[in-house]
Amino acid sequence: MVGKTLKALALIVGLGVTQNASADNLLVNGGFETPLQTNQNLAAFNVPAGSSLITGWNVVQGNVDLTNTCCYGPGPNTLDPSSAQDVDLIGDTNGSNGVFGGLSQSFATTPGQLYRLTFDYSHNNGTFSPDYAVQVTVADANAPANTIFSVEQSQPFFPQVGFPSGGWQTFSQNFTAISDSTLLTFIDTRGAFNAGIYLDDVSVEAVSSVPGPIAGAGLPGLIFASGGLLGWWRRRQKSA
Applying CB under 5 A, the residues found at the interface with Ca ion are 31-32, 65, 83, 85-86, 88, 194, 200
Nearer of residues 82 and 239 to Ca ion, judged by Cβ: 82
Least Å distance, CB 32 to Ca ion, is: 5
Nearer of residues 65 and 205 to Ca ion, judged by Cβ: 65
Question: Residues 106, 181: contact at Cβ < 8 Å?
Answer: yes
Nearer of residues 32 and 100 to Ca ion, judged by Cβ: 32
Count of CB atoms within 10 A of residue 60's CB? 15
Tell me, what DSSP letter sits at residue 89? S
Q: Which residue from 53, 54, 129 is spatially nearest to 93, judged by alpha carbons? A: 129
Least Å distance, CB 54 to Ca ion, is: 11
Nearer of residues 16 and 31 to Ca ion, judged by Cβ: 31
Give Dmax (Cα) for the chain: 77
Least Å distance, CB 160 to Ca ion, is: 17
SS3 for 71-122 is CCCCCCCCCCCCCCEEEECCCCHHHCCCCCCEEEEEEECCCCCEEEEEEEEE
Least Å distance, CB 137 to Ca ion, is: 21
